[in-house]
Amino acid sequence: MGTSTLASSTPAAAPPRRLARGRAPRVSPTQGGTRGGRDSRVVAGAADPSASLPQALLDAVSKKFEDDVKGVTSLFEETPATYPRPPTLPVAGNTLDIAQGGHEILLEWALEYGNNPAGVHEVQMLGQTILHVVDPKIARELMVAKSNEFPDRGVSAMAKFFREDQAAFVNTSGEQWMAYRKMGTASVNGSALDRLAGKVAERSEALAHAWRRKAEAAGRLGGDGALALEIDMDTATQAVTLEVIHEALFSETLDVIDEEPDAVALARSFRRFNEANQDLLNDFLQLYQRFDTPDAHRRETHRARLRAHFDARADAREALIARTGNAKDAPQDLLTALLSARDPATGARLTRDDVNLTLTEMMVAGHDTTAATVACLLTLLAANPETLHRAMREVDAACDALGGRLPSTVKEVAELTFLDDAMKEAMRLYPAVMIVVRKADDGVGGELGEGRVRIPEGAGMWISPYVMGRLPHLWGGDADDTRAFRPERFEAFRAEGAKEPEAFMPFGGGPRVCLGSRFAMLEGKVTAAAILRDFDLELTPELAGKLAESKGELPISYAAGLMSFPEPLRLVATARAASAASDAR
């Protein structure tokens, strides 16, 4: 229904309907066939009708062999570089460098090869030319002014994070993408923000209470006799963000923090599902698409558990809407929006597959990335006691002004300006996403920067928020200061009249900017505020030793482009003395 016009009235307009999908069968190495509607690798031309059957078969085999040879030899042909490029290997290009070095090698390349008038350098990935954009002006032109000319086409790998063919937010475009985006945006913006801010405050307080109970049960005391315990900060923040996004999507409490068994099992499946997806995204040969690899099997096992959870809630919501006859009588969340959406041209509903996969994307994007950011923020604060105590003083003052309670509305949270700066500084150094991808369509090239950058036909383009946040010439020129965690730099930018530096782009930009960016900032600040109000934080001796060895760099990686932690970020949380805030509770 690509030519239909989207309706904006209730019921919500559905994305133009797609054909029903199912998982394509994996095959043995000797089988042919098609996958996802795509033809096999080679389709031989029509045989000469006058030829004998053996001759026709021989011609077909010969043509296939010729095409295969051409395909293989093309991988070994070195494409001349238009812009500076790191040394490449035959076939692989720079793929192995990226697989082994990731964010660190990208920064190294940007510093060595990106300092040129064009503001880009080349990368070769399995024969494809990639332009790594390191000039923020060029990057914003690509994401904003040229968003239609060079859309988000480079997401075939990211689409695998959710399913093999297409994904609602990640791998759609045009009317279909816009319809999904409108529904997703409404669930975490506007009037939903205040409701969700209250939920974040409630669940963050539940987390603090749970820590106190565990410390009391363990009988562990800090150096001054206060209750204390070691916390895996990344796991703890995930519990809060998962509960809150579940509330946003389903208007239903998921009690992971208090360890309700079904909730804990769901959280575990989400973690295993994400881990399997990340492993699959690192499978450059895409073997999982054709074979039942262990990672593929693990992903399908946990996906089935998530689908069962979503299906149960969708069934109950549909029954409620059927009883009342009006979707407005149901909770106004994303689940209701998806179930009541209709194609304006045909009246067709979204398939249950569409609903489930959209919810999966929102659950992943709505809790994993924010949890990782908050974990980094709190670890950086613990590593910088002076900055930590300034943030704690701001939180104490805000809570005292509210009679002891946490800020729990958009307006109240906006008063936490230093905590806002600290969270932005954490995202500058450790953005949740390593690369924003754009791609020229096959046979289509173009230019950026008034001709400074020529884009080869079909080329991919990378913008790395991680690299942009660490190039010294974009942040004052001093390399040591650029590597340092210093939230005051954002205060200085505001004093100069800039809301945010041009190179600060952790949420991407343009039409594809993260739809939950405002919610992520609010959720991160409220979660951090609840912890800072009730606990002092310090690094464990083990983590302190590792940071000393790494010159302050947190032990992170980007598995398939999304931030992850090879080992837990463990902090010591020591209960603070009773205050007006705790007395009020």
In the β-sheet with 535-539, what is the strand arrangement from edge to edge?
Answer: 228-232, 570-575, 535-539
Q: β-strands 446-448, 436-439: how paired?
A: unpaired
Tokens representing residue 472 in the block:
């010294």
Measured from the Cβ of residue 443, the count of other Cβ atoms closer than 10 Å reads 7
Give 462's strand partners.
Answer: 132, 437
Q: CA of 240: how far to CAs of 253, 317, 395, 411, in Å?
A: 11, 24, 19, 21
ω into 456 cis (within 30 of 0): no
165 contacts 494 by C-beta, under 8 angstroms? no
What does the domain layout of the chain look like in residue ranges?
72-158+435-486, 174-433+506-584
State the alpha helices, DSSP H only, in 384-448.
385-401, 410-413, 417-429
Gap between the Cα atoms of 494 and 423, Å rounded: 15
150 contacts 461 by C-beta, under 8 angstroms? yes
Contacts of 343 (CB under 8 A, 6+ apart): 1, 4, 13, 14, 15, 16, 17, 349
Gap between the Cα atoms of 229 and 336, Å rounded: 41
- pTM higher than the cut 0.85: no
Find the length of the chain: 585
Gap between the Cα atoms of 464 and 146, Å rounded: 17
Q: What is the pLDDT along the chain (585 residues), one digit of tens a residue?
A: 433 333 333 445 555 444 333 333 333 323 333 333 333 333 334 444 455 555 555 565 566 555 555 555 555 556 788 999 999 988 888 888 887 778 999 999 999 999 999 999 999 988 889 999 999 999 999 999 988 888 765 444 444 444 444 445 555 666 666 776 777 777 777 778 888 889 999 999 999 999 988 888 876 666 566 788 999 999 999 999 999 999 989 999 899 998 899 999 988 888 888 777 666 555 555 555 555 667 777 878 888 898 999 999 999 999 999 999 999 999 988 899 889 888 777 888 888 888 888 888 788 777 888 999 999 999 999 999 999 999 999 999 999 999 999 999 999 999 999 999 999 999 999 999 999 888 888 888 899 999 999 999 888 999 999 999 999 999 988 899 999 999 999 998 888 887 889 999 999 888 878 888 899 999 999 999 999 999 999 999 999 999 999 999 999 988 767 888 988 999 999 998 764 444 444
Q: Which CATH class is domain 174-433+506-584?
A: mainly alpha
Tokens representing residue 289 in the block:
């698409």
Residue 365: strand, helix, or coil: helix
